[in-house]
């Protein structure tokens, strides 16, 4: 027997995770009603070439391709039980009922899966992350990748891998990338129905030649959800269209650099994509700042180290926490320098890890 907690190596001190007794499909619940249950674990991922903007809101299709590194430690476990006895969907995050927004997103996702699979049972969804959710560390990516795998498994639905990726995308645009390990590209595609959207592995985890340091900084929390932020940029930033063109060029450069093991170019592209995305946010009306003052201090520290010849680069998702890229042998030096910075709360040493799996 396995529970949600034990499969993690936890980089954070966290509330105890709840216990579920079975991980495989249970045909019946205690009252003799049909119940289909499965559990999956999915890693978070950090984009080195960002996805920011949608070309179709309903299908949640990205307006630009993106590239990310799947992380090895930051994970979310998702347990799903479709149960004939339930009168509505139930969603729990860290043992607490999900807020209205999260609940709405999960129910919308389940409705789409129910429509595809012709299953009409409600579900109970429970998720546990070993890192703070909703703070710009791609918790929606790990959550929806885990939910997709657990749901498909609970329903014994026979989806191809790319179908799974498209389903995960309906929950969160970055989630499909968490299905694969290593360096992963999400190809935006151009078809109206999204049928050419796909995720591809560029490098397996053992060939990604750098570490990632997730630097948790003191802040007031995330400014705005990614979805709302993307819409705001699309509707009001004068740079939005240029951002899309520019980012697509960066995808091609980053893919080549990853295949060549060229850390310098990967780092330069990661910073270019990050600052262009955040520039787009800052130029929106009203201006959207995901950074905290401490974010900027860490960026300055990275630039300082680079002037001294240390190969280290920075990227930031839609939140205040910088993620640093550096060759493995430089991690102790970088860690030592950044940990002395005021406002740095915690540093997690990460590397590329495996994709999501069913437990
Ligand atoms: O998947 P979403 O809707 O949470 O958007 C992710 C947006 C970024 O994290 C900022 C960039 C990315 O590609 O992951």
As beta bridge partners, residue 211 has 326
Between the CA of 299 and the centroid of ligand 1 the distance, in Å, is 20
The residue to which tokens 């300055």 are assigned: 300
Tell me, in angstroms, the distance from the centre of ligand 1 to residue 273's CA.
12
Q: Which of 61, 74, 106, 141 to mutate to test the pocket of ligand 1 (most atoms within 8 A of CB)?
A: 141
**pLDDT tens readout for residues 302-342:** 999 999 999 999 999 999 999 999 999 999 999 999 999 98
> Model confidence over 149-187: pLDDT tens digits?
999 999 998 899 999 999 999 999 999 999 999 999 999
How many whole angstroms separate alpha carbon 257 and alpha carbon 269?
Answer: 9
Which distant-in-sequence residues (6+ apart) come within 8 Å of 204 by Cβ?
181, 182
The pLDDT score that the predictor gives to residue 220 is 81
Question: pTM of the entire structure?
Answer: 0.90
Residues 6+ apart with CB under 8 A from 215: 298, 321, 322, 323, 324, 338, 344, 346, 347
How far are the Cα atoms of 81, 138, 164, 331 from residue 51, in angstroms, in the given order?
Answer: 31, 12, 19, 27
Q: How far is the CA of 115 from the centre of ligand 1 (A)?
A: 26
- Cβ atoms of residues 312 and 333 within 8 Å: no
Please, what is the end-to-end C-alpha distance for the chain in angstroms?
11
Q: How far is CA 330 from CA 266, 342, 345, in A?
A: 16, 21, 21
């Amino acid at each position: 027997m396995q529970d949600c907690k034990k499969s993690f190596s936890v980089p954070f001190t966290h509330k105890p995770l709840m216990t579920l007794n079975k991980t495989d499909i249970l045909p019946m619940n205690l009252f003799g009603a049909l119940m289909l249950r499965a559990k999956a674990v999915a890693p978070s991922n950090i984009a080195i070439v960002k996805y920011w903007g949608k070309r179709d809101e309903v299908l949640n299709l990205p307006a630009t391709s993106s590239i990310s590194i799947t992380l090895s430690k930051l994970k979310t476990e998702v347990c799903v039980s479709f149960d004939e006895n339930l009168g509505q969907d139930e969603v729990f995050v860290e043992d607490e009922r999900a807020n209205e927004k999260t609940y709405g997103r999960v129910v919308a996702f389940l409705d789409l899966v129910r429509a595809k699979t012709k299953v009409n049972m409600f579900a109970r969804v429970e998720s546990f992350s070993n890192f703070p959710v909703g703070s710009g560390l791609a918790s929606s990516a790990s959550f929806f990748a885990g939910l997709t795998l657990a749901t498909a498994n609970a329903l014994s639905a026979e989806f191809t891998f790319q179908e799974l990726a498209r389903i995960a995308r309906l929950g969160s645009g970055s989630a499909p990338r968490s299905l694969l390990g290593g360096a992963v590209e999400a190809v935006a595609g151009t078809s109206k129905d999204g049928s050419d959207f796909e995720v591809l592995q560029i490098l397996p985890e053992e060939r990604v030649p750098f570490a990632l340091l997730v630097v948790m900084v003191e802040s007031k929390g995330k400014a705005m959800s990614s979805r709302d932020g993307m819409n705001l940029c699309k509707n009001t930033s004068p740079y939005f269209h240029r951002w899309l063109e520019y980012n697509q060029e960066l995808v091609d450069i980053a893919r080549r650099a990853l295949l060549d093991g060229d850390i310098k170019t990967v780092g330069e592209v990661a910073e270019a994509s990050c600052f262009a995305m955040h520039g787009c946010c800052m130029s929106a009306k009203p201006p959207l700042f995901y950074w905290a003052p401490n974010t900027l201090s860490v960026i300055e520290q990275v630039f300082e180290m680079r002037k001294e010849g240390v190969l280290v680069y920075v990227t930031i998702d839609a939140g205040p926490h910088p993620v640093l890229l550096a060759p493995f042998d430089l991690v102790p030096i970088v860690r030592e320098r950044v940990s002395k910075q005021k406002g740095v709360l915690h540093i997690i040493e990460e590397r590329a890890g495996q994709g999501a799996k069913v437990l």
